Amino acid sequence: MAVSFIILAAGMGSRMNSDTPKVLHHVGAAPLLHHALTAARALEPSRIVVVTGHEAAQVAKSAEAFDPSVECVLQEPQLGTAHAVDMAAPLLADFAGDVIVLYGDTPFIRPETLQAMRDARAHHSVVVLGFEAKDPGRYGRLVVSGDDLERIVEYKDSTDEERLITLCNSGVLCASAKLIFELISKVENDNEAQEYYLTDLPALARAQDLSAGVVTCDESETLGVNTRQQLAEAEAAFQSRARSDALENGVTLTAPETVFFALDTHIGRDAIIGPNVIFGTAVTIESGAEIKGFCHLEGCHVSRGAIVGPFARLRPGAELAEDVHVGNFVEIKNAILDEGVKVGHLTYIGDADIGEFTNIGAGTVTCNYDGVMKHRTRIGKRAFIGSSTMLVAPVTVGNDALTASGSVITENVPDEALALGRAKQVNKPGLATKLMARLKSIKAAKGSS
C-alpha cells in the first residue's frame, strides 16, 4: 500500500529563545526539518505534506529546497496537533493509502521504525509509536491491553496508577488517510487549552470497534528538540550515531570523537579520516581516499585514492579525481582536478579546470574575481605551475606547459611553452645598508620626540 507523510512544523519554539523557527535550527549541519524529511523519503512516499505556521515562508522555502516535490500548507491559527493534521486534508483528499504523522523537531526516527509501523497496519487500524521511558516524567502514557492500545492518557489527566506506566507516547501515528481525517472530524477541544489533539484518535477508533496498536522504538529515537540544551544533546547524539555508522561501514576514524559529520555525508569503506575533520553538507568521499587531520570539507567530491590535507579546505564545487593530492593550507573551490593532479601547499585554486598529472607549485593563486564577476582558469595535462604563480583569469595554460616561479600570467600559454611573467630585477649596490640606516634613524627620532 502507498504511504504519504504529514510533517508538523508549525510551532514557534519559544523556549529556543531565537528568531529562527525551531525546525530550522541545525543538527548535523542540516535543519531539524530535513532530518524528518530524510526519514520520510527513505520509504519512497507518494506525497509529503509539511504543515507550517510560525515563519511559514522560511519553513516552506527550506522544505522545498530539500525536496521540490514537498507540498506545504499553512496552519493559522494553531489549534493543536489534530487541527494541524487536518490542514493537509485537502491535499490528500484523493490519496487512498496510509498516512504517517511525523514532527519537524524530532530528528531521529529511523526509516526502519516507520516501516515497522506500516507493517503493523496489517493488524491494526491505527498504529502509534511508543517507547519505554527511563524517566516517564510528564509524557503521555499508552494504556494497553495485550497487543491492543486502549487509549493515550495525558500526564495531567492520568491517575496515580496510570502514572506508573513507563510506555510513553512519541506522537508519531499511522493510519489510512481516510480514517485519520474521519476520526479528526470527531475530535473535540474540551480541554484547558481548547485545542484539538491527535492523541484522541486511538480511543475514537476503539469506539468504532476498530483496532489500535503500538510499535515501540528506542527512547533515543524520540528525542525532541525544544530548548538550546536539547539542541546540543541532539547534536551530540547525531554525531555519536554518525561515527558509529561510519566505523561499522568500514571507514577508519583515527580519532572518532573529533570528527563531525553532516546529515548527508557519504564515505566509502576503507576511506581514512584523520582527527579534527569537519564535514559540511553535500560531501562524498569514495572508498580508499584519505582525509588527513584538521580539514574542512563542504559541497565536494573526493575520488578513490585521493589524499587531502592536513589543514586543507574543500569548498562547494570541488571535484577531485582519482589519486589527486591536495596538501596543507590549500583551498579548492568550484574546481575540477583530474587524475593525478598535485597541489602540495599554500595555494588557492578557485573556478578552475586542472588537467591530469599537472603539478601546482606552492603559493599559486588563480585570480578568479575581478570585483564584479568570476572567471575561469584552465590548465592542461602534465603542466608544471611554478611556485608563487598568479594566474589572472580568464586564462589558459596548455598541455605540458610550464610557468616560471613568481610569474604573473595574464595571457594564454600555448602547449609545451615556458611562460615568464616577472618584472626585470635591478640590483643597486650598497643601497640596502644605506636604506636600513636611514629607516633606523627615522625610528629613533620618532622615539625621542
Spatial contact of 263 and 279, defined as CB atoms under 8 Å apart: no
Residues 138-152: tens digit of each pLDDT: 899 999 998 899 999
Distance CA 141, CA 132 (A): 10
Residue 63, pLDDT > 80, answer yes
List the CATH number of the domain containing 235. Answer: 2.160.10.10
List active site positions: 345
User: Last residue of a domain, which of 180, 198, 222?
Assistant: 222
413 within some domain: yes
Q: Are residues 213 and 272 in the same domain?
A: no
- Is the full-model pTM beyond 0.75? yes
pLDDT band at 449 (very low <50, low <70, confident <90, very high): low
Q: Are residues 59 and 24 in the same domain?
A: yes
pLDDT band at 69 (very low <50, low <70, confident <90, very high): very high
- The mean pLDDT of 178-191, rounded to a whole number, is 95
Pairing of β 148-153 and β 141-145: antiparallel
Q: Are residues 169 and 259 in the same domain?
A: no
Strand partners, 153: 141
Domain that residue 386 falls in? 228-419
426 within some domain: no
Q: Are residues 218 and 74 in the same domain?
A: yes
Residue 300, pLDDT > 70, answer yes
Distance CA 213, CA 266 (A): 36
Residues 395-438: tens digit of each pLDDT: 999 999 999 999 999 999 999 999 999 988 899 999 999 999 99
440 within some domain: no
Q: Residue 301 belongs to what H/E stretch?
A: strand 300-302
Residue 157, pLDDT > 90, answer no
Q: Is 60 helix (H, G, I), strand (E, B) or coil?
A: helix
Q: Is 424 exposed, middle or buried (0-12, 13-18, 19+ CB in 10 A)?
A: exposed
294 within some domain: yes
Distance CA 185, CA 177 (A): 13
List the CATH number of the domain containing 17. Answer: 3.90.550.10
Written as nine digits, the cell of 164 is: 506508573
99 within some domain: yes
Q: Are residues 187 and 269 in the same domain?
A: no
pLDDT band at 232 (very low <50, low <70, confident <90, very high): very high
Pairing of β 30-31 and β 26-27: antiparallel
448 within some domain: no
Domain count, the chain: 2
Q: Are residues 208 and 72 in the same domain?
A: yes
Q: Are residues 191 and 138 in the same domain?
A: yes
User: Last residue of a domain, which of 222, 250, 281?
Assistant: 222
pLDDT band at 1 (very low <50, low <70, confident <90, very high): confident
User: Last residue of a domain, which of 222, 257, 287?
Assistant: 222
The percentage of residues in the chain with a pLDDT greater than 70, rounded to a whole number, is: 100
Q: Are residues 53 and 82 in the same domain?
A: yes
